[in-house]
A = this chain, B = another copy of it.
Amino acid sequence: MNKKDNILIIGAGLCGSLLALRLAQRGYKVEVFESRPDLRTTDISAGRSINLALSDRGFKALRLCGVEEKAREICIPMYGRLIHDSKGNTFTSNYSGREGEYINSISRGDLNGILLTEAEKHENVTIHFNKKCSSVDIEKIIGHFKDYKTKEEFSINADVIFGTDGAGSILRKSYYLERKFLFSYSQNYLSHGYKELEIPADALGNHQISKEHLHIWPRGEYMLIALPNMDGSFTVTLFLSYDEGEYNFNNLTSEEKITSFFETQFPDALALIPSIKDEFLNNPTGALGTVKCSPWHYQNKTILMGDAAHAIVPFYGQGMNASFEDITVFDEILSHFESSREVEDWEAVFKRYEKVRKEDTDAIADLAIDNFHEMKDHVANPIFKEKRKLEMTLEENFPSAYFSKYSMVTFNENIPYAEAMKKGRAQDKALLNMVAHHDLDAITDLKEVLKKVQEETNEILEEDKIAGM
């Protein structure tokens, strides 16, 4: 780790641009290559994850880099889920029973733009657009690129390469194909894909449904969700199986079928999506994949971060937050090694980083898949609903003693994901079983309820521990 090292970052998405900013703030010299055009000057939204959920782990990293306030200016708070049943009835389910705990709908492009601009304010940062990485020589630390505009091919030598090039990472592919080490790797797709649609603003530019909620139309095997945008519109996303069930992406190929699907399943949403047919037929169907791998680094030469190392499905609203948290964790380790005089090697930093971080990114990947089933199905289940209601009451009455799994994951940035998963799953199991068996019905003192929930949770954790030896 030398401030004179030539650092090459592949990818100037959310993770790459925040990483560039932070490394520049620490005094490193950074060159960033991005395959797409500069999104501050070109409209490149193409019906794909236009808005995202930003919450406390993301803010912690943005705060570290001094850009929290700029991000807050473009946030739309969402305080809970607003659930639409098939008869058109709605009910709300808050994300927390505590005051001031909410998630935020934010435009991916606008936030990315802020981070690029902040990074470029540093003279030790250069960002190149329209330069597509085609492969990485991980032994010689060379990135091979092609300029999309001039079609010219060129190579960049570096002292260290950071791959923040997303779920389809070229650096990660080089690890797989070069076979220089045992590379554990998984890419797992859900049976479902997604398609983005739009609820436009009304004639006055206002939101047509509550902008204070994340809307869900759960239908068991599929669902529709909607997140508000600053311009009064909502980005709507349909999650649907590719080829199973009565309705699926493979058989919804004609305007009639599409209309009939929405008319029977989502009539209230259909009324708000005027361009349904065009959007459905023209917007791409995206895949929902989880990527895990290890090791993330190769010697002291290259490392994967963000989605390139751990792409997750979107159902916990944690993809961007997890990538930003990578920067928080990496920065802390880098800081530690910089101040210790013993080790000066990037490899020690990379090893320590993965050792600390990997179990947490594995955990949020698994939690995100759990939430897919929760959102499309469980949210409409009476036992689940009663459990969530009870959790809100506990959080409201014991704000410093009770935290739901959702709260631990989303609002407690100092609880690692893996711990939140372990404790949260045990707590959910305890609660769901007690609700299902009416164990709490006779207890009138809320303190007693809390005590019983805690005891059951601890017993579950203890039994799992013994079973795992």
Contact = CB atoms under 8 A, between A and B. Distances in A.
Interface stretch (A34-42, A146-154, A376-384): A376-384
A373 B469 CA distance: 9
A433 interface: yes
A385 to B, nearest CB: 12
A467 B428 contact: yes
Interface stretch (A122-130, A186-194, A199-207, A410-418): A186-194
16 contacts: A183-B187, A184-B188, A185-B185, A185-B187, A185-B188, A186-B188, A378-B469, A383-B466, A383-B469, A384-B469, A429-B464, A429-B466, A429-B467, A432-B466, A433-B463, A433-B466
Contacts of A401: none
Q: How many copies does the complex hold?
A: 2
Interface of A: 182-189, 242, 287, 289, 292, 373, 377-378, 381, 383-384, 425, 428-429, 432-433, 436, 463-464, 466-467, 469
Contacts of A378: 469
A182 B241 CA distance: 13
A187 B293 CA distance: 9
A463 B112 CA distance: 44
A467 B184 contact: no
B436 A466 contact: yes
A135 B378 CA distance: 45
Nearest to A460: B463
Nearest to A434: B466
Contacts of A242: 182
Given A429-B463, A433-B463, A463-B433, A469 B381 contact: yes
Nearest to A184: B188
Nearest to A292: B186
A287 B182 contact: yes
A62 B226 CA distance: 56
A428 B384 CA distance: 29
Contacts of A289: 182
Contacts of A188: 184-186
Contacts of A429: 463-464, 466-467
Contacts of A189: 182-184
A449 B433 CA distance: 26
Contacts of A464: 429
Nearest to A381: B469
Given A186-B186, A186-B188, 6 more contacts: A185-B187, A383-B469, A425-B467, A429-B467, A433-B466, A436-B466
B467 A433 contact: yes
Nearest to A429: B467
Contacts of A467: 425, 428-429, 432-433
